[in-house]
Amino acid sequence: MSRIDVFDFHFHFLGQESLEEIARLLDSGAVSGMLCCTDLGASHEEFEARNEPLLALAAERGKEVLPLLAMVHLNRPDWPRHAARWFDRYDALVGVKLHPPISKYTLTPELVDPLFDFLGERGLFAASHTVPLPGLSAAAFHPSLKRRPKTRLVIYHGSTHEESAYLAASFANVVVEPSWLGFFPGLFQLMAKLGGYGKLLAGTDGPGWFRDFQGSPYEDLVGLARRHLPDEDTARDFCGRNARRFLRFGD
């Protein structure tokens, strides 16, 4: 069986150690590209000092390393100034990473609508951590998506499965990243019936899980994809080609 190209749509930058891991994985050919969340541990004031190494690597590697701006606290009134400052300064940033549980807010239209406007004006997308709790799951984005249906949104972890599949089916630019250790058959089955396999992107949520895993995370990801999906061509789409379409590399 031929090798499948992988684009990891969910990777975390956690400092110098993960920076070296990103370069090693790319150079080894284990993965051909990565969407990297900037350091969630950084405050607004620390952002540049903590994340400059990743942003420098992204500028050097081009489309192999694409960083997301994390620490966008929608519950802080100064988030637009914070976000605009970094997007104006760093061309490599391609979107915003939201993590409402860490930022300690729930998703409401009052918070999300201005973000979607910001993203639309700049041609960016959002990726959001989701968990199965009211105001923190995929369904919380629905009111804002109805008002701004062109918004490009990635549902990280696909929580809940039903909500994620429904959003992907309902909005052209919503996709779902179920995360490597959470490849549950039910989500894949729902996506096949609703949004379709073209709305699924592969990611690992690494590298935190890598050190405790026996074997290659990317070989395991591909093996799981082959078991969950109906054929080799669909597995290739899921592992890499869907990501490149979403990122509009062909435009």
User: For 124-145, what is each residue's pLDDT tens digit?
Assistant: 999 999 999 999 999 999 999 9
Residue 1 binned pLDDT confidence (cut-offs 50, 70, 90): low
In CATH, what number is assigned to the domain containing residue 213?
A: 3.20.20.140
- Measured distance CA(83)–CA(189) in Å, rounded: 37
Q: Is residue 56 in a domain?
A: yes
Q: Is residue 74 in a domain?
A: yes
Q: Is residue 242 in a domain?
A: yes
Pick the closest to residue 148 from 124, 165, 171, 167 (CA basis). Answer: 171
Q: Is residue 106 in a domain?
A: no
Average pLDDT score over the chain: 94
User: For 76-104, what is each residue's pLDDT tens digit?
Assistant: 999 999 999 999 999 999 999 999 999 99
Question: Into how many domains does the chain fold?
Answer: 1
User: What radius of gyration do the chain's Cα atoms show?
Assistant: 17
Q: What is the pLDDT of residue 46?
A: 86
The residue-averaged pLDDT of 2-8 equals: 91
User: For 59-75, what is each residue's pLDDT tens digit?
Assistant: 999 999 999 999 899 99
Pick the closest to residue 166 from 197, 139, 137, 202 (CA basis). Answer: 139
Q: Is residue 120 in a domain?
A: no
Pick the closest to residue 99 from 71, 140, 125 (CA basis). Answer: 71
What residue numbers bound the domain in which 29 lies? Answer: 7-101+125-144+151-161+173-246
